Chains A and B, each alone.
Chain A
Amino acid sequence: AQSVAQPEDQVNVAEGNPLTVKCTYSVSGNPYLFWYVQYPNRGLQFLLKYITGDNLVKGSYGFEAEFNKSQTSFHLKKPSALVSDSALYFCAVRDEGDYKLSFGAGTTVTVRA
Protein backbone atom coordinates (compact mmCIF):
# COMPACT_ATOMS: atom_id res chain seq x y z
CA ALA A 1 0.00 0.00 0.00
CA GLN A 2 1.14 3.53 -0.65
CA SER A 3 0.36 6.67 1.29
CA VAL A 4 1.28 10.32 1.65
CA ALA A 5 1.32 12.51 4.74
CA GLN A 6 1.32 16.29 4.76
CA PRO A 7 1.79 17.03 8.45
CA GLU A 8 0.83 20.70 8.30
CA ASP A 9 -2.69 21.77 7.43
CA GLN A 10 -1.54 25.38 7.07
CA VAL A 11 1.69 27.22 6.48
CA ASN A 12 1.92 30.98 6.92
CA VAL A 13 4.92 33.00 5.75
CA ALA A 14 5.72 36.61 4.99
CA GLU A 15 6.38 37.65 1.42
CA GLY A 16 10.06 37.37 0.58
CA ASN A 17 10.71 34.68 3.19
CA PRO A 18 11.53 31.05 2.38
CA LEU A 19 8.58 28.71 2.00
CA THR A 20 8.64 25.00 2.86
CA VAL A 21 5.74 22.58 2.55
CA LYS A 22 6.41 19.16 4.06
CA CYS A 23 5.58 15.76 2.63
CA THR A 24 6.44 12.23 3.69
CA TYR A 25 5.51 9.09 1.84
CA SER A 26 5.28 5.34 2.12
CA VAL A 27 5.61 2.89 -0.80
CA SER A 28 6.82 -0.66 -1.08
CA GLY A 29 9.04 -0.05 -4.12
CA ASN A 30 10.63 2.98 -5.75
CA PRO A 31 8.57 6.15 -5.38
CA TYR A 32 7.42 8.49 -8.10
CA LEU A 33 6.67 11.79 -6.34
CA PHE A 34 4.68 14.82 -7.45
CA TRP A 35 3.60 18.24 -6.26
CA TYR A 36 0.43 19.94 -7.47
CA VAL A 37 -1.02 23.35 -6.61
CA GLN A 38 -4.69 24.29 -6.52
CA TYR A 39 -5.85 27.90 -6.61
CA PRO A 40 -9.38 28.80 -5.41
CA ASN A 41 -12.09 27.37 -7.68
CA ARG A 42 -9.50 25.86 -10.00
CA GLY A 43 -8.23 22.40 -10.83
CA LEU A 44 -4.85 20.96 -9.89
CA GLN A 45 -1.80 22.32 -11.66
CA PHE A 46 1.34 20.21 -11.96
CA LEU A 47 4.40 21.82 -10.33
CA LEU A 48 7.17 19.22 -10.42
CA LYS A 49 8.02 15.56 -10.10
CA TYR A 50 10.78 13.21 -8.99
CA ILE A 51 11.19 9.97 -10.88
CA THR A 52 14.90 9.26 -10.72
CA GLY A 53 18.22 11.08 -10.82
CA ASP A 54 19.16 14.25 -8.99
CA ASN A 55 17.52 14.51 -5.59
CA LEU A 56 16.84 18.23 -6.09
CA VAL A 57 14.09 18.80 -8.60
CA LYS A 58 13.23 22.19 -10.05
CA GLY A 59 9.74 23.01 -11.24
CA SER A 60 7.37 25.77 -12.25
CA TYR A 61 7.12 29.25 -10.69
CA GLY A 62 10.48 28.99 -8.90
CA PHE A 63 9.53 25.96 -6.81
CA GLU A 64 11.88 23.08 -6.09
CA ALA A 65 11.68 19.91 -4.05
CA GLU A 66 14.24 17.68 -2.43
CA PHE A 67 13.89 13.91 -2.43
CA ASN A 68 15.30 12.27 0.70
CA LYS A 69 15.13 8.50 0.51
CA SER A 70 16.35 7.83 4.05
CA GLN A 71 13.73 10.13 5.54
CA THR A 72 11.09 9.19 2.94
CA SER A 73 10.40 12.86 2.39
CA PHE A 74 9.79 15.14 -0.57
CA HIS A 75 9.50 18.67 0.80
CA LEU A 76 8.50 21.51 -1.49
CA LYS A 77 10.52 24.72 -1.23
CA LYS A 78 10.68 28.22 -2.60
CA PRO A 79 13.50 30.57 -1.60
CA SER A 80 11.40 33.73 -1.66
CA ALA A 81 7.62 33.44 -1.39
CA LEU A 82 5.16 35.70 -3.21
CA VAL A 83 1.62 36.65 -2.18
CA SER A 84 0.48 34.95 -5.40
CA ASP A 85 1.85 31.63 -4.07
CA SER A 86 -1.06 31.52 -1.62
CA ALA A 87 -2.91 28.33 -2.55
CA LEU A 88 -3.55 24.70 -1.62
CA TYR A 89 -0.62 22.36 -2.24
CA PHE A 90 -0.88 18.60 -2.70
CA CYS A 91 1.87 16.02 -2.55
CA ALA A 92 1.25 12.74 -4.40
CA VAL A 93 3.05 9.42 -4.76
CA ARG A 94 2.83 6.28 -6.76
CA ASP A 95 4.86 3.13 -6.60
CA GLU A 96 7.06 2.49 -9.62
CA GLY A 97 5.17 -0.72 -10.27
CA ASP A 98 1.70 0.73 -9.81
CA TYR A 99 -0.46 3.16 -11.76
CA LYS A 100 -2.43 4.55 -8.82
CA LEU A 101 -1.55 8.03 -7.64
CA SER A 102 -2.23 8.69 -3.94
CA PHE A 103 -2.63 12.23 -2.69
CA GLY A 104 -2.03 13.83 0.68
CA ALA A 105 -4.76 15.87 2.34
CA GLY A 106 -3.19 19.13 1.22
CA THR A 107 -1.48 22.10 2.87
CA THR A 108 -2.92 25.59 2.65
CA VAL A 109 -0.20 28.17 2.13
CA THR A 110 -0.85 31.80 2.99
CA VAL A 111 1.76 34.37 2.09
CA ARG A 112 1.15 37.75 3.73
CA ALA A 113 2.33 41.00 2.23
Chain B
Amino acid sequence: EAGVAQSPRYKIIEKRQSVAFWCNPISGHATLYWYQQILGQGPKLLIQFQNNGVVDDSQLPKDRFSAERLKGVDSTLKIQPAKLEDSAVYLCASSFPGGNTIYFGEGSWLTVV
Protein backbone atom coordinates (compact mmCIF):
# COMPACT_ATOMS: atom_id res chain seq x y z
CA GLU B 1 0.00 0.00 0.00
CA ALA B 2 1.37 3.41 -0.96
CA GLY B 3 2.03 5.81 1.86
CA VAL B 4 1.49 9.54 2.15
CA ALA B 5 3.30 11.27 -0.70
CA GLN B 6 4.80 14.74 -0.36
CA SER B 7 6.75 17.05 -2.63
CA PRO B 8 9.12 18.73 -2.84
CA ARG B 9 11.30 17.03 -0.24
CA TYR B 10 13.61 19.99 0.14
CA LYS B 11 13.23 23.67 -0.61
CA ILE B 12 15.43 26.69 0.07
CA ILE B 13 13.91 30.13 -0.47
CA GLU B 14 14.68 33.69 0.50
CA LYS B 15 12.53 35.50 3.03
CA ARG B 16 9.48 37.19 1.53
CA GLN B 17 9.33 34.63 -1.28
CA SER B 18 6.53 32.12 -1.61
CA VAL B 19 6.52 28.32 -1.54
CA ALA B 20 3.97 25.58 -2.00
CA PHE B 21 3.96 22.00 -0.75
CA TRP B 22 1.85 19.19 -2.16
CA CYS B 23 0.45 16.14 -0.43
CA ASN B 24 -1.35 13.01 -1.61
CA PRO B 25 -2.78 10.98 1.28
CA ILE B 26 -3.17 7.25 1.60
CA SER B 27 -6.00 5.99 -0.59
CA GLY B 28 -9.30 6.04 1.26
CA HIS B 29 -8.13 8.36 4.02
CA ALA B 30 -10.65 11.17 4.20
CA THR B 31 -8.85 13.03 6.98
CA LEU B 32 -5.72 14.98 6.07
CA TYR B 33 -3.42 16.95 8.34
CA TRP B 34 -0.58 19.42 7.91
CA TYR B 35 1.90 19.61 10.77
CA GLN B 36 4.86 21.94 11.27
CA GLN B 37 7.94 20.50 12.97
CA ILE B 38 10.56 23.02 14.04
CA LEU B 39 13.99 21.63 14.86
CA GLY B 40 14.08 20.33 18.41
CA GLN B 41 10.32 20.34 18.85
CA GLY B 42 7.47 17.94 18.34
CA PRO B 43 5.10 18.35 15.40
CA LYS B 44 2.41 21.01 15.76
CA LEU B 45 -0.91 20.77 13.93
CA LEU B 46 -1.46 23.56 11.43
CA ILE B 47 -4.67 22.44 9.76
CA GLN B 48 -6.94 19.40 9.57
CA PHE B 49 -9.30 18.56 6.70
CA GLN B 50 -12.19 16.13 6.62
CA ASN B 51 -12.71 15.45 2.90
CA ASN B 52 -12.44 18.98 1.49
CA GLY B 53 -13.75 20.78 4.57
CA VAL B 54 -11.60 22.38 7.28
CA VAL B 55 -12.05 20.82 10.73
CA ASP B 56 -9.43 22.89 12.56
CA ASP B 57 -7.15 25.68 11.39
CA SER B 58 -6.80 27.46 14.72
CA GLN B 59 -2.99 27.15 14.67
CA LEU B 60 -2.53 28.23 11.05
CA PRO B 61 -0.96 31.71 10.69
CA LYS B 62 -3.57 32.84 8.22
CA ASP B 63 -1.82 36.09 7.32
CA ARG B 64 0.82 34.08 5.47
CA PHE B 65 -0.22 30.43 5.37
CA SER B 66 -3.03 28.94 3.32
CA ALA B 67 -4.10 25.40 2.56
CA GLU B 68 -6.66 23.81 0.33
CA ARG B 69 -8.01 20.39 -0.50
CA LEU B 70 -10.32 21.07 -3.39
CA LYS B 71 -11.39 17.57 -4.43
CA GLY B 72 -11.09 15.88 -1.07
CA VAL B 73 -7.89 14.06 -2.00
CA ASP B 74 -4.68 16.02 -2.70
CA SER B 75 -3.80 19.07 -0.65
CA THR B 76 -1.54 22.08 -1.07
CA LEU B 77 0.00 24.17 1.69
CA LYS B 78 1.26 27.61 0.69
CA ILE B 79 3.39 30.14 2.52
CA GLN B 80 3.50 33.72 1.25
CA PRO B 81 5.53 35.68 2.18
CA ALA B 82 7.93 33.39 4.02
CA LYS B 83 9.73 34.44 7.18
CA LEU B 84 12.96 33.09 8.65
CA GLU B 85 10.99 31.44 11.47
CA ASP B 86 9.06 29.35 8.93
CA SER B 87 12.14 27.16 8.48
CA ALA B 88 10.84 23.76 9.50
CA VAL B 89 9.69 20.40 8.25
CA TYR B 90 6.14 20.40 6.95
CA LEU B 91 4.58 17.01 7.52
CA CYS B 92 1.46 15.84 5.79
CA ALA B 93 -0.48 13.02 7.41
CA SER B 94 -3.72 11.16 6.85
CA SER B 95 -6.13 8.82 8.57
CA PHE B 96 -9.52 7.22 8.14
CA PRO B 97 -12.35 9.38 9.50
CA GLY B 98 -12.39 8.79 13.23
CA GLY B 99 -9.38 6.56 12.78
CA ASN B 100 -7.05 6.25 15.70
CA THR B 101 -3.78 6.09 13.83
CA ILE B 102 -2.34 8.95 11.80
CA TYR B 103 0.19 8.08 9.10
CA PHE B 104 2.84 10.60 8.08
CA GLY B 105 4.63 11.36 4.86
CA GLU B 106 8.38 11.88 4.55
CA GLY B 107 8.04 15.62 5.05
CA SER B 108 8.98 18.74 3.09
CA TRP B 109 12.06 20.43 4.53
CA LEU B 110 11.95 24.22 4.18
CA THR B 111 14.87 26.53 4.78
CA VAL B 112 14.21 30.28 4.60
CA VAL B 113 17.36 32.39 4.24
Residues in chain A within 8 A of chain B (CB atoms):
4, 32, 34, 36, 41-46, 49, 51, 90, 92, 99-101, 103-106
Chain B 52-72 interface residues, beta-carbon cutoff 8 Å to A: 55-56
The answer to whether A41 touches B109, judged by C-beta atoms less than 8 angstroms apart, is: yes
Q: How far is the CA of A46 from the CA of B41 in the complex (A)?
A: 18
Which B residues lie within 8 Å of A100 (CB)? 45, 56
Within 8 Å of chain A (Cβ to Cβ): is B42? yes
The answer to whether residues A36 and B104 also contact, given A41-B109, A100-B56, A105-B40 and a CB cut-off of 8 A, is yes
Of the four ranges (under 10, 10 to 19, 20 to 34, 35 or more), the interface on chain B belongs to 20 to 34
A49 to B: closest C-beta gap in Å: 6
B105 to A: closest C-beta gap in Å: 5
> What are 22 A-to-B residue pairs whose CB atoms are below 8 Å?
A4-B42, A34-B101, A34-B102, A36-B104, A42-B106, A43-B91, A43-B104, A43-B105, A43-B106, A44-B91, A44-B93, A44-B104, A46-B104, A49-B100, A92-B42, A100-B45, A101-B45, A101-B102, A103-B43, A104-B42, A105-B40, A106-B42
**Other-chain contact of B48, A42, A43, A99, A106 (Cβ < 8 Å):** A99
Contacts A46-B101, A105-B41 known; list 15 others, CB within 8 Å. Answer: A4-B42, A34-B101, A43-B91, A43-B107, A44-B43, A49-B100, A90-B42, A99-B55, A99-B56, A101-B45, A101-B102, A103-B42, A103-B44, A105-B40, A106-B40
The answer to whether A32 touches B48, judged by C-beta atoms less than 8 angstroms apart, is: no
B113 to A: closest C-beta gap in Å: 19
Q: How far is the CA of A6 from the CA of B98 in the complex (A)?
A: 26
A88 to B: closest C-beta gap in Å: 10
The answer to whether A90 touches B43, judged by C-beta atoms less than 8 angstroms apart, is: yes
Q: How far is the CA of A41 from the CA of B106 in the complex (A)?
A: 8
Within 8 Å of chain A (Cβ to Cβ): is B103? yes
B19 to A: closest C-beta gap in Å: 18
Q: How far is the CA of A4 from the CA of B41 in the complex (A)?
A: 12
**Other-chain contact of A49, B6, B101, B105 (Cβ < 8 Å):** B101
- A4, A49, A101: which has the most chain B beta carbons within 10 Å? A101
- Convert B24-63 into 0s and 1s, putting 1 for each residue whose CB lies closer than 8 angstroms to a CB of A: 0000000000000000111111001000000110000000
